[in-house]
Amino acid sequence: MLTLLKLLKDGRFHSGQALGASLGVSRSAVWKQLQHLEAELGIPIHKVRGRGYQLAAPLSFLDADEIALQSSGSGWSLQVFDSIDSTNAEALRAIDRGVPAPLVVIAERQTAGRGRRGRKWVSPFAENVYYSLVLRVDGGMRQLEGLSLVVGLAVMHTLRELGIAGVGLKWPNDVLVGSKKIAGILLELVGDPADVCHVVLGVGINVNMQVAEKVDQQWTSMRLETGRMLDRNRLVALLGAKLQQYLDRHRKSGFAEIQAEWEAHHLWQGRAVSLIAGSSQTDGVVIGIDNQGALRLNVAGVEKTFSGGELSLRLRDDS
């Protein structure tokens, strides 16, 4: 089915006959496949009598060779999927199978993209980047301290370099433009964090997405911010380079060396917030983060520190 889509990707008209000849199937089989594509992937396809079929807008696909060409030799192996439940889930399966790390898994779409605590990451076909990097960690807890914040910085710098000037961070793991989410980060860990473990660094970036009815909070995409289509292969290559640069720094010097830089990009420094942990809520003012990436809040005049994967920050109305 995707072979057919790839034949149409230029956004020009292609006759049913020519498409059928390329695929070795009948014209009616082409028509059926196109109907299926529209229904399954939500891609609008125009049909004009006498001219054939045309995508409503041209598509470009993820391409391992193109990404390798634009990457400056990270040495990370790359797996590209047309469709997968979740790139993080596939990365975890690869760890189970004993595939050596570092390994990057990317996909054109996710049918069950994940956020934190069972939430969903909306992942339409061929519009965004869904990226998971598997790392082997054998340096104990220190190598995990602040890791999701480090990934956030790498993502933020990638987007800045591609023209998204207003992008910043929200503790612990959101990448925002103003109050709109442009990227999300989900770390998942297997093994013994005190000894040897594997960590999956999952990143979802909204690239060319312009409509997403199912996203239930404010969001934006690189295209909405710049008014231009972005080359996702270039983005994947650049993200790899930035991740490599920040992960190297983190491995060599620990999170303490990155703390000040992260704080400088924290959009909610000094803001009045509520910190939510399950059903409990703590109100305070953001002081910053500590040298392990934990959040420091001024709570009624007393400084308190919070860390853990189950915490969410919300702005208070009086902020």
Q: Which of 181, 232, 242, 296 is catalytic?
A: 181
Among 29-37, 120-128, 158-166, 281-289, the segment contacting ligand ATP (CB under 6 A)? 120-128
What is the closest distance, in whole angstroms, from the C-beta atom of residue 219 to ligand ATP in the complex? 4
Which of 259, 208, 168 has the alpha carbon at shortest distance from 60?
A: 208
> Which is nearer to ligand ATP, 142 or 180 (by Cβ)?
180
What is the closest distance, in whole angstroms, from the C-beta atom of residue 94 to ligand ATP in the complex? 22
> For ligand ATP, which residue of 80, 106, 122, 222 counts as binding (CB under 6 A)?
122
Q: For this structure, is 314 an active site residue? A: yes
> Which is nearer to ligand ATP, 176 or 237 (by Cβ)?
176
Q: For this structure, is 181 an active site residue? A: yes
What is the closest distance, in whole angstroms, from the C-beta atom of residue 42 to ligand ATP in the complex? 14
- State the Cα–Cα distance between residues 78 and 211, nearest whole angstrom: 29
- Residue count at the site for ligand ATP (CB under 6 A)? 18
Q: Which residues ranging from 167 to 226 are in contact with ligand ATP (CB under 6 A)? A: 174, 181, 184, 204, 206, 212, 215-217, 219
> Which is nearer to ligand ATP, 19 or 313 (by Cβ)?
313
Question: Can residue 290 be called a binding residue for ligand ATP (CB under 6 A)?
Answer: no
Report how far Cα 161 is from the mean position of its chain's Cα atoms: 16
- Catalytically active residues are 116, 181, 314
